[in-house]
């Protein structure tokens, strides 16, 4: 297993999770920070015998990993995944902010090199279920809005989870949001994804939170998920690591593995 972004908040969490699993071995780590330091020690898990490298091509060549896990920034992830896929190393990607064109680029790359990759905007199992429940509710309500709340360091807004939630709601069989567009263009209303407005909150003290609020005649329904620590993402990351090599092409969304 090779972790790209190993010195970041999510990268350190992934390193700890991998080191705790008996069927996984950390063989490589890449980051632009803490170069030369032991990845396990940086993650707070004790020495792992793997030094953080500044070069992904060098790390791929030296460690020959079965899977590459990337939790870097959107401006870095495309280059990272391109490098790994060309080396025929399957990828698990948790970087946020990837647009439709980016995903099309990754899909073409996976097909060209016959190497799979999984991209998920959220690896928390509860968040995936929250999105599925919202898609079910979209068959029964005419109005809904999404509020997503994240830590102040999150770069993209709206979050990938919020965008995917709105898209799943619109695509659901029998959805009342299918094909509709919002006619409310006021800036204070947030961004509209189809007929659904998304509001983004960025504050210290938050990790990752989202609620979908449906409104109907004399009632509301709120579906909410809270990640109170980054440990919440690790069961999904480990599931993706174990399954990605059996996939074909690019797969978007952890729900495809559940």
The whole-number pLDDT of residue 187 equals 64
Looking up residue 135, the CATH number of its domain turns out to be 3.30.360.10
Could you tell me the end-to-end alpha-carbon distance of the chain, in angstroms, rounded to an integer?
22
CA–CA separation, 191 vs 22, rounded Å? 44
Most confidently modeled range among 69-73, 115-119, 190-194:
115-119
Query: Do residue 144 and residue 210 come from a single domain?
Result: yes
Distance CA 248, CA 115 (A): 7
Residues with catalytic annotation?
150, 154
User: What average pLDDT does range 126-147 have in this prediction?
Assistant: 96
- Asked if 13 and 82 sit in the same domain, the reply is yes
pLDDT value for 183:
80
> What is the average pLDDT value for the chain, to the nearest integer?
94
pLDDT in tens, 186-209: 666 688 999 999 999 999 999 999
Same domain, 56 and 15: yes
pTM (two decimals):
0.86
Non-local CB neighbours of 245 within 8 Å, separated by 6+ positions = 66, 67, 90, 116
Residues 178 and 240 in one domain: no
Residues 111 and 50 in one domain: yes
Shared domain check, 56 and 25: yes
Say whether both 94 and 142 belong to one domain.
no
In terms of residue numbers, what domain contains 188? Answer: 125-227
Please check whether residues 9 and 29 belong to one and the same domain. yes
Residues 237 and 206 occupy one common structural domain: no
The CA–CA distances, whole Å, from 193 to 29, 43, 173 equal: 37, 37, 18
34: left (phi over 0), alpha (psi -120 to 50) or beta: left
Q: How many domains does the chain have?
A: 2
């Amino acid at each position: 297993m090779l972790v790209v972004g190993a010195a970041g908040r999510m990268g350190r969490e992934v390193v700890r999770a991998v080191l705790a699993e008996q069927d996984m071995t950390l063989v490589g780590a890449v980051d632009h920070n803490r170069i030369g330091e032991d990845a396990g020690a940086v993650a707070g898990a004790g020495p792992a015998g793997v030094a953080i490298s500044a070069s992904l091509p060098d790390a791929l060549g030296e460690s020959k990993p079965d899977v590459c896990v990337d939790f870097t920034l959107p401006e870095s992830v495309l280059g990272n995944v391109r490098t790994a896929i060309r080396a025929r190393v399957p990828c698990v990607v948790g970087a946020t902010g990837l647009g439709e064109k980016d995903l099309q680029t990754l899909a073409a790359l996976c097909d060209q090199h016959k190497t799979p990759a999984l991209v998920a905007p959220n690896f928390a199992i509860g968040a995936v279920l929250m999105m599925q429940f919202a898609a079910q509710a979209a068959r029964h309500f005419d109005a809904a809005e999404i509020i997503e709340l994240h830590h102040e360091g999150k770069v993209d807004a709206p979050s990938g989870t919020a965008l995917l939630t709105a898209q799943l709601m619109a695509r659901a069989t029998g959805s009342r949001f299918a094909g509709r567009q919002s006619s409310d263009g006021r800036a204070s209303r947030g961004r509209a994804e189809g007929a659904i407005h998304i509001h983004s909150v960025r504050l210290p003290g938050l990790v990752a939170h989202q609620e979908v609020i449906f409104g109907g005649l004399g009632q509301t329904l709120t579906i909410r998920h809270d990640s109170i620590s980054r440990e919440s993402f690790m069961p999904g990351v480990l599931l993706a690591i174990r399954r990605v090599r059996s996939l074909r092409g690019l797969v978007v969304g952890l729900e495809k593995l559940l």
